[in-house]
Chains A and B, each alone.
Chain A
Amino acid sequence: MKTENQKAWFFVLPVLLLVAFNAIIPMMTVVNYSVQETFGDNLFFWEGLTWFEQLLNSERFYNALGRQFLFTFLILIIEVPLGIAIALAMPRKGFWVPVCLVLMSLPMLIPWNVVGAMWNIFALPDIGLLGYTLNHVLGINYDMTQDPIAAWFTIITMDVWHWTSLVVLLSYAGLVSIPEAYYQAAKIDGASNWSVFRFIQLPKMKNVLTIAILLRFMDSFNIYTEPFVLTGGGPGNSTTLLSIDLVKIALGQFDLGPAAAMSLIYFAITLLVSWLFYTLMNREDLNTEGER
């Protein structure tokens, strides 16, 4: 059991100061923008909640938000089961484990704009490996600069390529922490492979998996650089996610007010969904507290 100790605050203080410096001041600036209108030259006019009203009534916002949700939804339903499946199939010990871990981590270590750029090159219809293979070997008409479906396919594939390993690594961490005796007991109890997964592996992976889903949700919901470099939001607006739209408004049109209002709503949505995950996770912890 943890002991009550208010002095522990001193340990947390440096973290608090550093993060607060980075989080609170810019956040106040954004709040400030969101209620004002600017014409450049540091001229600001009070606008109240106009931007919020405008935004919540604009179709453009809902479209971008819808695309963002669709993207995150697709990412989660592909990456999470895929990541678990790969983790289950990985060897538990031996020479190949570090090799697998290193190779699988590679995509996560590439700067995000490079990821976008390399997938752009990779997908070029006539000279990229993916584009060429699809068009000239498999005979599928594929050009992500023309076809929204192709663009979505490329963006999703890129993210699966980029981030599935995170789910793999976390699930794998959960899996290797399961003592051998559980598998032996299950064998003796005559449990099927499915039962082993359902009653042993999944419950033991649950904590790390919640973290994986939470991280994947937050990061995919805020994703900007990779899809922007890959498709620039096109063709048309078909891959303009909320984050891309936001930057278009903020830096492209320099409409700081609407952009700030938008990012606050954006932030609120992310926070709400994450909070739901977080409380669900904590509630489960309460149920299993007697274990310790």
Chain B
Amino acid sequence: MQKRSIVPIVYILFLMLPIYWLIAMSFKTTNEILAGFSLFPQTFTIEAYVTIFTDPTWYWGYINSIIYVSLNTVISVCVALPAAYAFSRYRFLGDKQLFFWLLTNRMAPAAVFALPFFQLYSAVGLFDTHLAVALAHCLFNIPLAVWILEGFMGGVPKELDETAYVDGYSFPHFFVKIFLPTIKAGVGVTAFFCFMFSWVELLLAKTLTAVAAKPIAATMTKTASSAGYELGLLAAAGTLTIVPGAIVIYFVRNYIAKGFAMGRV
């Protein structure tokens, strides 16, 4: 048992190394970074963080990202819930084909779809809004949400539904009061995955925004090219992009563990 745990420990160390390097670098001065190799910051500075938190173009990047990611998570989960219920409980015309078609939407190379997306959202007047990014991310998040939720719902015996109807619950009442609480863990896991994939996607988010809803990732790319090689600032901004994800995963960790216990994620 003890010998086996070496494997995950080594793996986690491997995962942490680049992250450590990013964080260490964010506390170094640009001069120190370029001067040569140092394992720890020699002259510890939080200058990069000060810049980020005082400059609106920086911190609004974070706020924008968080807004459209949250919006997308809410939309994806709400829309996927009834659909997943339908897939897990009923057979209907074209259900299998529909399921596979949904899945195929993860396969389109986002790179070339960027331009049509830009045209589409400009045409409907949503360009440079948080809603545009949130809706665009539904393309790959909804299929995922439906799939995960369907798995969890499949684990709930059908008798639960039937008992509730016998007890005189209406469908919406049953769904909200009884069904949702039983698959709480599943909803948590789904929300987590939606958040994650929306947070990490950049290409569409960048394409669909200009100023008002510009995501943090886009701000970073711009800095990387315009301000020369401000590695410290870039590292600090990068470090800060890890924070929201880390917070979210901390909150849903028990759901995820439970989700695993249910055997389906």
Contact = CB atoms under 8 A, between A and B. Distances in A.
Q: Do chains A and B touch in the complex (CB under 8 A)?
A: yes
A114 interface: yes
B131 interface: no
B165 interface: no
A225 to B, nearest CB: 6
Interface stretch (B50-58, B176-184, B239-247): B239-247
Interface string B250-265: 1001101101111111
Nearest to A17: B79
Interface string B66-79: 00000000010001
A101 B37 CA distance: 32
B263 A177 contact: yes
A112 interface: yes
Given A5-B92, A117-B224, A127-B36, A89 B5 contact: yes
A186 interface: no
Interface residues of B, number: 97
Interface string B95-109: 100101011111111
A149 interface: no
Nearest to A256: B115
B12 A12 contact: no
Interface centre among B21, B107, B201 (most CB of A within 10 A): B107
Given A11-B82, A15-B102, A102 B202 contact: no
Contact of B90 (A4, A173, A225): A4
Interface centre among A85, A101, A110, A130 (most CB of B within 10 A): A110
Interface of A: 2-9, 11-12, 14-16, 18-19, 21-23, 25-27, 29-30, 85-86, 89-91, 97-98, 100-114, 117-119, 121-122, 126-130, 132, 136, 161, 164-165, 168-170, 172-174, 176-177, 208, 215, 218-219, 221-222, 224-225, 243, 246-247, 250-251, 256, 259-260, 262-263, 266-267, 270-271, 274-275, 278
Interface of B: 4-8, 11-12, 14-22, 25, 33-34, 36-37, 39, 75, 79-80, 82-83, 85-93, 95, 98, 100, 102-117, 119-120, 135-136, 138-139, 142-143, 146, 196, 199-203, 216-217, 220-221, 224, 231, 234-235, 238, 241-242, 245-246, 248-250, 253-254, 256-257, 259-265
